Amino acid sequence: MALSGVEIFKLLPKTNCKKCGFPTCLAFAMKLAQRQASLDACPDVSEEAKKILGEASAPPVRAIILGAGDKAVKMGEETVLFRHEKRFVNPCAFAVNIKDSESDNEIEKKVAMVIASEIDRVGQKLRIDAISIECASNDAVRYEAVTRMVSSRAPDTPIILNCFNASAAEAAVKAIADKKPLLYGARLDNLDAMVNIAKAHKTPLGLYAEGPEALSSLAEKAKAMGVEDIVIDPGAKSAKGIIEGNTQIRRAAIKKNFKPLGYPIINIVMKDDPLIETAIASVAIAKYASIVVLSSIERWKNLALFTLRQNLYTDPQVPMQVEQKIYKIGEPGPDAPLMITTNFSLTYFIVSGEVENSKVPSRLAVMDCEGLSVLTAWAAGKFTASRIAQFIKESGVENEVKHRELIIPGQVAILSGTLEDKLEGWKIIVGPREANGLPTFLKTKAA
Amino acid sequence: MAYVIPKETYSGKVASMTIGEGAKSIAIGGENTMPFLSFEGAIPNRPVIAMEIQDITPDDWPDNLKKYYNGYYDDAAKWAKFCVEQLNAKAIALRLVGTHPDKQDRSAEDAAKTVKEVLSVVDVPLIILGSNHIEKDASVIVAAAEAATGKNCIIGKAQEGNYKTIVAAALAHKHKLIAMSELDINLAKQLNILITQMGFETDRLLTDPMCSALGYGLEYTYSVMERIRLAALTQNDTTMQPPIVGDVGMYVWKTKEVSASEEDMPQWGSLEERGIAWEVVTAMGMLLAGANLLIMRHPKAVEKAEKVIEELTKG
Amino acid sequence: MIVIGEKISIIAKKVREAMTNRDPKPIQEIASAQWKAGAHMIDVNIGPAEEKGEDLMTWMVNIIQEVVPLPLCLDTTNSNALEAGLKAHNNQWGRALINSTSNEPERFVMLELAARHNAQVIGLTLGKGGLPADAEERAAIASEIMARAMEYGLPLEDLFLDPLILQVCTMQSHAMHAIKAVRMFQELNDPPMKTVVGLSNISNGAPKDMRSLIDRTFLTLLMHEGLTAAIMNPLDKDLMAVMKTTDIFLGKTLYAHSYLEM
């Protein structure tokens, strides 16, 4: 099993030279134990220590890079089965499948849609991460040509060579080897040839077998033949196959430290009905897939799947935050009441819900307090009179409202005096302690 | 290295119960494994989707949802019948939203009348929900429970502020009961303890840890549900063994994503499918986290989710 | 174990009013009661103290040390107020403890103050970007705070690592993470690092009649892992009795039938 930070520290040079970027060897050791740093960062570590640490610090699910350059996607490195235990680490990649048997026109159109798929959601740029090129023609010349075409139209997008024909695969890999495509793949019947291509061109290799058991023996063979970077497909066709196969694989890797299945999982989720495809892709996203291959691009589908991935891969330790601004609830006029609270999303959802219930059009000033709730933020010095005053002044709300009354949460009634001093010309009103007191409070105030 | 299927053995199992009366009654719960992992345990019953209807014409449903029930809004019984006969609903969830003081403030007697009318035309199990107004629900749900005596309905939702009267009504009229708390596993357990201390058996109780829509806190509900299910199975915690309810529709159909037009949000694609997908994906999240009963609104979303449930339970 | 009395806090209405009115009596009474109940140090929590924080902290230190011969644990996020408190502090009874620094850049100033004024400091294992997920993450943050302390020239013996106690009623798993972290912190240095907790955080949010039970059970487990100090309620007789009894088992005090009275 993994070594603790202290055990790792004992194997380090203990020079505190800072070349690794950390202030001490101990700090570096702690980061190594958490797999947030790589031993490569230490130039002075002994060969013996490297060997011991390398084995012990290898994550239960190997890290694999899909593609090269700015849009390369890191996969693997997962450490838990349930997101509440600790954050899911590397969000799965979405790929769209293109068949080389489609017309050039059709292919170009799809590639263009992949490139245009990027959207912004809550500050993150989300997109279809990769293109899977399927060798449906079984013709090496055609396959290589399509691969070249896709690669030139989408020069930065990672590519999955979805091809079980070794000669076609070899031609395509040669054409775009510098892009580090994922060569998917190898089965028991073509393993030797595929391994040789992957080794010759230093690409990761995708393995396909029916079920975790066959897959694990295939992975052991590939590894014995010298391939390190592996992605595995348990051959699941249905939602049931995905959830059971993926769960067994991830459990074997994490709970049993079973190395032959300690690789990122690829699921081919392609259905005629795009809504069904969306639903089954949801299973793959939630249950441990690292690459989800889809059959089509629809903007609504992308949005739903991007959002699910973003939701499930958030860090459960980081409080979810909403944007700092003045939120309007209903259609508040210049005389509508103005309240303030912090940007912890649950606080925001509950407070804004109660304000809605009151049916009194209002403004809610939501202030960035790093996602802490009101009392915690106050205690941590982030929801203080001077910060509130600064936020209210800079928010521009003074131009929106005619009055100068600010309602503060009852829990921080203590702030009212100081806040009146700091916010010149404003009257501070202490609101209810709990959000469920807001409807009565606002209605009474409006009456 | 030889591969051994990594199976978990759990000491507990989810409570099982039957809802409704007669040929179309349904059993839910009873599994002794995490969702859909039948390689290591028994999953005797599949999750159930109830289609939501209301006692008044909804004033907050977007047109892309509302159009599916045009012509049925004036009569809850007619609406229920349409869902069962035309849309193949396996259960109906009647939300008495019109009783809310800020909606039409319908009386408990009016609500009871609606319940009777609906029960007179449908033979599938009925879930009777209040308007989520703590004080008003106490009287509305009591009256509704009485009106539905002998029909083995699910009534709810009992919350910290009103559970005593609602539990008493469920006991008196022999219904199942939904206990709801707000996204906090410890509060969910506490409420279940309080309810069982009133003599209400765990195998008649359902737990609703509060749903959240995709993009609006779904991960909170997802993790709370997973943790409830894990506590039920690994710790054999009887207070966490009631089947889980996901009240999906009401959270999904108020988000921006299901109503913003394609003109306003061209990068979001077709509104029609976007709305359905939002409800389907939210439903999938709840199912994968352990939900046994979903309440949904869009007929197409129900149809797609049913299809995937079929795939997940039958292989 | 070092008991740091927690009762002088702005959270308490009586204390808050006395602070506002500069009325020394209620505060001195609480300080004195904690000392007599066995506190080794008195926590002085004046909150964020944005307004006249320096005056307030100086006044607090003076009036408290007038009546109790104990060092103080100065508790505010306002570094100017904190420095004023350090200047006023009477080191005759022992050195002051700063509550607290963390791995957040705006709190590094506390390390600088500790080094400059020969004080000790609590290092709360909290960094930017949310709560630490488990014991390992707490230890990683601890090691960064230790490195930072050395940069500021603060001896590691003067740093008390705090594993961040969170309320069990909503964050149950963190109770065990904190217990493990107390063990791990000690292993970060030789001689072992000192550790401290804000004990009553564990029972925050729990029903009032449950709090003492929760506090004292948790304290037993922490002491077993080698906890050096706790900010806690010395006026809770049951809690103090459990602490003394645990010290018996741990071999920290010699048994006699009347050990509780000592």
**For residue A264, what are the CA distances in angstroms to A65, A205, A220, B244, C213?**
10, 11, 15, 31, 46
Residues 6+ apart with CB under 8 A from A13: A25, A42, A44, A45, A46
**Bigger pLDDT: C236 vs A237:** C236
Subunit contact C172:B186, Cβ cutoff 8 A: yes
Interaxial angle between packed helices A438-446 and A345-358, expressed in degrees from 0 to 180 and rounded to the nearest 10:
40
**How far apart, in whole angstroms, are the C-alpha atoms of residue A128 and residue A118?**
7
Torsion-angle region of B255 (φ positive above 0: left; ψ -120 to 50: alpha; else: beta): beta
Domain residues of chain C, as ranges?
Answer: 2-249
Is residue A2 very low, low, confident or very high in pLDDT (cuts 50, 70, 90)? low
* A193 lies in the same domain as A252: yes
Q: Which two tokens stand for residue A276?
A: 């069904």
Cβ-based contacts of C172 with chain B (< 8 Å): 186
Residue A319 lies in a domain: no
pLDDT of A57: 67
In B47-106, the residues whose Cβ lies within 8 Å of chain A are 102
Domain count, chain A: 3
Please provide the DSSP assignment of C228-261 as one string.
-EEEE-TT-HHHHHHHHHHHHHTTSS---TTGGG
SS3 content of chain A, % helix, strand, coil (to 5): 45, 15, 35
**For residue C160, what are the CA distances in angstroms to A330, C106, C116, C198?**
51, 19, 17, 12
Contact status of C48 with chain A (Cβ, < 8 Å):
yes
DSSP alpha helix (H) spans, chain C: 13-21, 24-36, 53-67, 79-88, 109-116, 135-151, 173-186, 208-224, 237-249
**How far apart, in whole angstroms, are the C-alpha atoms of residue B286 and residue B50?**
14
* A366 lies in the same domain as A394: yes
Host H or E run for residue B165: helix B163-172
The CATH number of whichever domain residue A35 belongs to comes to 1.10.15.40
Residue A317 lies in a domain: no
* A256 lies in the same domain as A135: yes
Length of chain A: 447
Is residue A1 very low, low, confident or very high in pLDDT (cuts 50, 70, 90)? very low
Tell which CATH architecture fits domain C2-249: Alpha-Beta Barrel (3.20)
pLDDT of A29: 83
A61 and A250 Cβ atoms separated by less than 8 Å: yes
- What is the percentage of chain C residues whose pLDDT exceeds 70? 100
**Bigger pLDDT: A249 vs A256:** A249
> pLDDT digit string (tens) for A58-113?
789 999 999 999 999 999 999 999 999 989 999 999 999 999 999 999 999 999 99
Out of A289, A312, A335, a domain closes at A312
The C-alpha torsion from A23 through A26 and A31 to A35, rounded to 10°, is 140
Average pLDDT over residues A47-57: 77
Domains of chain B as residue ranges with CATH: 51-205+247-284+294-314 (3.20.20.20)
- How far is the alpha carbon of B197 from chain C, nearest alpha carbon, in Å? 18
Contact status of C78 with chain A (Cβ, < 8 Å):
yes
Contact status of A346 with chain C (Cβ, < 8 Å):
no
Contact status of B278 with chain A (Cβ, < 8 Å):
yes
Residue closest to B284 by CA, chosen among B220, B240, B209, B222: B222
> pLDDT digit string (tens) for C208-251?
999 999 999 999 999 999 999 999 999 999 999 999 999 999 98
* A263 lies in the same domain as A381: no
Residues 6+ apart with CB under 8 A from A187: A164, A207, A208, A209, A218
Out of A259, A286, A312, a domain closes at A312
Token match 């007697």: residue? B109
Closest-CA residue of C relative to A8 is C188
Token match 């595995």: residue? A232
C146 and C122 Cβ atoms separated by less than 8 Å: no
Host H or E run for residue A254: helix A239-255
Q: Which two tokens stand for residue A254?
A: 């994490």
Subunit contact A5:C147, Cβ cutoff 8 A: no
Q: What are phi and psi of C2, to 5 degrees?
A: -85, 125
* A89 lies in the same domain as A234: yes
* A68 lies in the same domain as A101: yes
Residue A21's domain comprises 5-57
* A187 lies in the same domain as A89: yes
B34 and B261 Cβ atoms separated by less than 8 Å: no
Cβ-based contacts of B222 with chain A (< 8 Å): 83, 286, 311-312
Average pLDDT over residues A241-261: 95
**For residue C119, what are the CA distances in angstroms to A252, C22, C154, C227?**
51, 26, 9, 20
Q: Which two tokens stand for residue C142?
A: 């601890």
> pLDDT digit string (tens) for C183-204?
989 888 878 899 999 999 999 8
Contact status of B135 with chain A (Cβ, < 8 Å):
no
Residue A104 lies in a domain: yes
pTM of the model: 0.86
- What is the percentage of chain A residues whose pLDDT exceeds 70? 98
The C-alpha torsion from A407 through A412 and A418 to A419, rounded to 10°, is -30
**How far apart, in whole angstroms, are the C-alpha atoms of residue B5 and residue B10?**
15
Per the prediction, chain A carries an average pLDDT of: 91
Neighbours of C (≥3 Cβ pairs closer than 8 A)? A, B
* A53 lies in the same domain as A69: no
* A125 lies in the same domain as A51: no
Interaxial angle between packed helices B163-172 and B185-197, expressed in degrees from 0 to 180 and rounded to the nearest 10:
50
| Amino acid at residue number A190 | N
Cβ-based contacts of A86 with chain C (< 8 Å): 133-134
Closest-CA residue of A relative to B8 is A251
Residue closest to A90 by CA, chosen among A36, A29, A154: A36
Give me the interface pTM, i.e. the ipTM. 0.97
* A288 lies in the same domain as A397: no
In B283-302, the residues whose Cβ lies within 8 Å of chain A are 284-285, 288, 300
Residue closest to A276 by CA, chosen among A313, A308, A327, A238: A238
DSSP state of A298: -
**How far apart, in whole angstroms, are the C-alpha atoms of residue C184 and residue C203?**
23
Subunit contact A6:C137, Cβ cutoff 8 A: no
Cβ-based contacts of B186 with chain C (< 8 Å): 169-170, 172
**How far apart, in whole angstroms, are the C-alpha atoms of residue B140 and residue B16?**
27
Residue A320 lies in a domain: no
Contact status of A439 with chain C (Cβ, < 8 Å):
no
> pLDDT digit string (tens) for B198-241?
999 999 999 999 999 999 889 999 999 999 999 999 999 999 99
> pLDDT digit string (tens) for C156-174?
999 999 999 999 988 899 9
| Amino acid at residue number C89 | H
**For residue B282, what are the CA distances in angstroms to B144, B218, C15?**
29, 7, 49
Most C CBs within 10 Å, among A57, A78, A317, A369, to test the C interface: A317
* A73 lies in the same domain as A34: no
Contact status of C172 with chain B (Cβ, < 8 Å):
yes
- How far is the alpha carbon of A234 from chain B, nearest alpha carbon, in Å? 14
Closest-CA residue of B relative to C171 is B186
C219 and C185 Cβ atoms separated by less than 8 Å: no
- pLDDT by residue for chain B (315 residues), tens only, comes to 789 999 998 999 999 999 999 999 999 999 999 999 999 999 999 999 999 999 999 999 999 999 999 999 999 999 999 999 999 999 999 999 999 998 999 999 999 999 999 999 999 999 999 999 999 999 999 999 999 999 999 999 999 999 999 999 999 999 999 999 988 899 999 999 999 999 999 999 999 999 999 998 899 999 999 999 999 999 999 999 999 999 999 999 988 899 999 999 999 999 999 999 999 999 999 999 999 999 999 999 999 999 999 999 985
**Of A18-27, A380-389, B154-163, highest mean pLDDT:** B154-163
Most B CBs within 10 Å, among A81, A240, A288, A436, to test the B interface: A240
**For residue B42, what are the CA distances in angstroms to B9, B14, B16, B203, B230?**
11, 11, 12, 18, 15
Residues 6+ apart with CB under 8 A from C221: C179
In B173-212, the residues whose Cβ lies within 8 Å of chain A are 182-183
Q: Which two tokens stand for residue A337?
A: 């009441």
* A106 lies in the same domain as A173: yes
